[in-house]
Amino acid sequence: MLETAVAAALFVGVLAYSLFGGADFGSGFYDLTAGGSRRGAELRTLVDHSIGPVWEANHVWLVYVLVTWWTAFPESFASAMSTLILPLLLALLGIVLRGASFAFRKYAASLAQARLFGAVFATSSVVTPFFFGTVAGAIASGRVPAEGRGDLWTSWLNPTSAFGGVIAVGTCAFLAGCFLTADAARGGQERLAGQLRRRTIGVGLVTGGIVLAALVPLELDAPTLADGLETQAAPLVVASAVAGVATLVLLWRRWFGLARLTAVAAVAAVVSGWGVGQYPWLLVDEVTIADAAGAEATLQALLVAVGIAAVVVLPALAYLYRLTQTEAWSRSEH
């Protein structure tokens, strides 16, 4: 019971990171494909302004996940880290390059500098979710052993991981597209909003297609997860499909504000589908949540910390998000 509560708290972190962090990462996709410096300037400025105030806060969800994991389930953390060292290092590299170059670009002195930092920012934003996706795939397909180290390469170079990676990239871009489109529309940048709308619909169609296509290889490559998806997580799978389609329709009809919500719901359903689908395994086919748990006193203390976080951090976070949506904050910088 205690373990499950902590695992749930951990998973909330994973979910929040996929949604908020994901939307930040995804904006890199549009930045990357915005075109030459003249054509892309407007979009890049929008990206800057949209994620500038929030990306650091969104990023802390990752820290939260790591810390909760190693505190609550230390052995499984150690084995996952040593098995998946390569994709994790690559993701880490992406995070470092992206955060630093984003900050540098904002204050770059010349176009050449801004271009260099921008290219690094955008590229690393696109590839980082891919590696996180492969990590999820590795765990979900039972390739991380309970103790010690699994295979350094095949653990994350396999069908489930590949799909996990691509889906992660796609969902991030889809989320970001919905947010950016809404931001552009709210700021009165009609042309930009129209352009983003088209691209987001395209990304949504492709990603949706891949998610559906993934169900087949999953059946073979990750039977435990596939089984969970067909039984306990089936409602979530349906929900994600419905919300995804609804988002596309809303985008089409230019109801950008609402489309943000359904997009979040769709992605949240995909991610929770994975979590619920593999319950009660922590590392699929290897160790359950109950068996992986660390000391009881620590779990209790951790829940206290999570409780404090809920009381202290969430209101502050809500305040930040609300501020960024107000009229005063939509004004230009000075």
Partner 1 sequence: MALSLGWHIVLACFGVAFPAIIFTMHLIGLRRGSEHALTLAQRWAKVSAVLFAIGAVSGTVLSFEMGLLWPGLMGTFGDVLGLPFAFEGLAFFLEAIFLGIYLYGWGRMPPKQHLLMVVPMAITGVVGTYCVIAVNAWMNVPTGFRVVDGEVTDIEPWAVLFNPAAFWQFLHMWLAAYMVAGFAIAAVYAVGMLRGRRDARHRLGFTVAMAFASVSAVIQPFVGHLLGGRLAEWQPAKLAAFELATETESPSPLRLGGVLIDGEVRYALDIPYLGSLIARNSFTEPVIGLDEFPADTHPPVNITHLSFQVMVAIGTLLALVAVVYWVMRWRGRELTDHRWFLRFMATGGVLSIVAMEAGWIATEVGRQPWIVQDVMRTPEAAGDNPGLWWLLGATSVVYTAMTIGAVVVLRSMARRWRAGEADLPSPYAPDPAGSEDTGTTSMGTVR
Q: Which residues, 244 to 263, sit near ligand HEM by CB under 6 A?
A: none
Q: Which does 100 bind (CB under 5 to 8 A by kind): partner 1, ligand HEM, none?
A: partner 1
Record the tokens describing residue 123, joined without a space: 């590229």
| Minimum gap (Å) between residue 217 Cβ and ligand HEM | 35
In this structure, how many other beta carbons lie within 10 angstroms of the beta carbon of residue 210? 15
Query: Scanning the structure block, which residue is given the tokens 């904002």?
Result: 106
| C-alpha distances in Å from residue 258, one per residue of 215, 217, 318, 324 | 28, 33, 18, 17
Q: Which of residues 219-278 bind partner 1 (CB under 8 A)?
A: none
Q: Which does 298 bind (CB under 5 to 8 A by kind): partner 1, ligand HEM, none?
A: partner 1
| Minimum gap (Å) between residue 9 Cβ and ligand HEM | 18
Does residue 143 touch ligand HEM according to CB under 6 A? Answer: no
| Minimum gap (Å) between residue 238 Cβ and ligand HEM | 36
Does residue 33 touch partner 1 according to CB under 8 A? Answer: no
Does residue 56 touch ligand HEM according to CB under 6 A? Answer: yes
In this structure, how many other beta carbons lie within 10 angstroms of the beta carbon of residue 280? 12
| Minimum gap (Å) between residue 100 Cβ and ligand HEM | 12
Residue type, 208: G
- The residue range among 18-26, 52-60, 242-250, 270-278 that interacts with ligand HEM, by the rule CB under 6 A, is 52-60
Strands (E), the chain: 281-283, 287-288
Q: Residue 73 contacts by C-beta under 8 Å, 6 or more apart in sequence? A: 7, 282, 289, 292, 293, 294
Q: Which is nearer to ligand HEM, 64 or 156 (CB)?
A: 64
Residue 259 and residue 200: Cα distance in Å, rounded?
11
